[in-house]
Structure 1
């Protein structure tokens, strides 16, 4: 019996994790486990159950390829082709940003805020240009929601899946990203309630020629990394994730400045604007929103590290 035949699933995981660790991979144990589950096509529960089973030789080439890709700095999510968000698996590739856990808090905040504002109301109060107020024709439980910079579609798909009566628009400048988002919408069976739009920030919704409906809720996780900080990012992010989804200009605030200006050009203002922001940017983004109108409330939502990560403006 050869040494290779004596290998168990558990021993292969340990050897793989050590190999990644020696290559400087920070989360070697967790990444090795994810790669092993991917190569074997099994769940973590099944892996633990079969921990002492023999290693299947026919998986060796795929396993070594996955380890080498990880050693070169490729994010494990791109290698396995998916990342979980709000309890659902989303396909990802290098055309889209990898969903982060803190963005789940943005989805949660939007769900809670819409439920609070729309519960029992006859429609959404909007402000027209010039300050005139009117009620929208939106039904109490059917707001129109626009996700700007949808990427893999995590926010739009999650909101559509969690609230089947909502009408969603998912916008991105990248055609390749929209293809990923459409795939995820199909997988989670919400594509019939999401309209995908290619464009730059709010551009397609601004102007007299726009054929899109008024927006009740604007949610966005735009690029917010200052340009000068890109080179200093972790190599997995810097070398593999799309810079279009990372670079927010000189101070990281360019997308917010543009969207604040575009909000002022809309025929009616949303009732809710919810942005994810970079560390230290929350108050600056809030000030940009205050320049548009007098919001009834602007609050911050902290992420798991205690950083003000989301700005929620409500009318």
Structure 2
């Protein structure tokens, strides 16, 4: 059997059993089994695939058919061009979140210039995708990553170490902004960025199986209307008088305008904007005090 034939069998197997994005999943799993890039995979298209590699591929296909996301099967995902290890203790990084990181980088440069050194806290860091990206792109920034899950925080630490930025990131265990406020004080946080849980509780059971049964509920369930984590962060800021100059949130479908209103009501960010993702969905809300 050639590599191409193995791919065709894998893609058909997934497609016939209703797996989403069957061709792409088959390709990614085959790349992982062979340890090659997509370009190299095409070079090997006509070469034979050995039995051990095909057996490994077939075992992974069974997991994919059961609903397990490709990223958890391979143990990796890419964010802002960098590889991140992922497991079931962390949310899989999404492409739209790259837009949030990019906007925070741009606004940070406008507010603090180069080589400014703002203290930026990534709340609910998960895999550490946002925190490590900010630290890698702006080495002078003082980045902190917080999470309520000790397992997630260890994954974030491991990814930061693998990317060579662990020395520029402080890791904090605790509830939302509380550990950062305790560590740096009310006046010690210049910017907050967060992709918190935002799925309304009643919608959790209706999520696709890849999300509902495999990704951590702690990183998904945002309470009755999905906005509870944002309200709690704003309450923590109010309780301690900790108002960052820059605030960047990711949110769910139909939530951006209400979230923007919550930010405006505080009176601490004169400039509140909504940013659409690649699909035209209002996905990010940013507050700036220039």
TM-score, normalised on structure 2?
0.97
From 26, 44, 51, the counterpart of 2:20: 26
1:76 aligns with 2:48: no
Kept in 2, the 8 Å contact 1:102–1:303? The answer is yes
Q: What CA distance in whole angstroms lies between the structure 2 residues aligned with 1:59 and 1:240? A: 25
Q: How far did residue 268 of structure 1 move?
A: 3.9
1:53 aligns with 2:27: no
Kept in 2, the 8 Å contact 1:261–1:292? The answer is no
Deviations 1:220-275 (A, max 9, x none): 00000000101111100000000000000010010011011111123442110000
TM alignment of 1:87-236, pairs within 5 A: 87-119=81-113, 141-206=116-181, 210-213=182-185, 214-236=188-210
Deviations 1:60-100 (A, max 9, x none): 22111101000100000000110000000100000000000
Q: How far did residue 294 of structure 1 move?
A: 3.8
From 273, 289, 292, the counterpart of 2:247: 273
From 299, 303, 309, the counterpart of 2:277: 303
Q: What CA distance in whole angstroms lies between the structure 2 residues aligned with 1:235 and 1:150? A: 23
Deviation larger for 178-187 or 210-219: 210-219
Residue 3 of structure 1 aligns with which residue? none
Kept in 1, the 8 Å contact 2:146–2:180? The answer is no
Larger Rg: 1
TM-score, normalised on structure 1?
0.89
Kept in 1, the 8 Å contact 2:172–2:180? The answer is no
Q: How far did residue 50 of structure 1 move?
A: 1.1
Q: How far did residue 293 of structure 1 move?
A: 2.3
1:291 aligns with 2:265: yes
Structure 1 residues 211 and 239, CA, compared in 2 at 3 Å: closer, same or farther? Answer: closer
Q: How far did residue 119 of structure 1 move?
A: 2.1
Q: What CA distance in whole angstroms lies between the structure 1 residues aligned with 2:7 and 2:50? A: 13
Structure 1 residues 268 and 258, CA, compared in 2 at 3 Å: closer, same or farther? Answer: closer
1:249 is paired with a residue whose SS is: coil
State the Cα RMSD in Å.
Answer: 1.1
Give the length in aligned residue pairs.
287
From 5, 13, 28, the counterpart of 1:11: 5
Q: What CA distance in whole angstroms lies between the structure 2 residues aligned with 1:197 and 1:226? A: 26
Q: How far did residue 204 of structure 1 move?
A: 1.9
2:133 is paired with a residue whose SS is: helix
Q: What CA distance in whole angstroms lies between the structure 1 residues aligned with 2:83 and 2:223? A: 31
Q: What CA distance in whole angstroms lies between the structure 2 residues aligned with 1:62 and 1:156? A: 34
1:42 aligns with 2:16: no
Q: Which structure 2 segments of 5+ residues have no match?
A: none
Deviations 1:182-203 (A, max 9, x none): 0100000000011100101112
Q: What CA distance in whole angstroms lies between the structure 1 residues aligned with 2:135 and 2:195? A: 17
Kept in 1, the 8 Å contact 2:249–2:285? The answer is yes
Q: Which structure 1 segments of 5+ residues have no match?
A: 1-6, 121-139
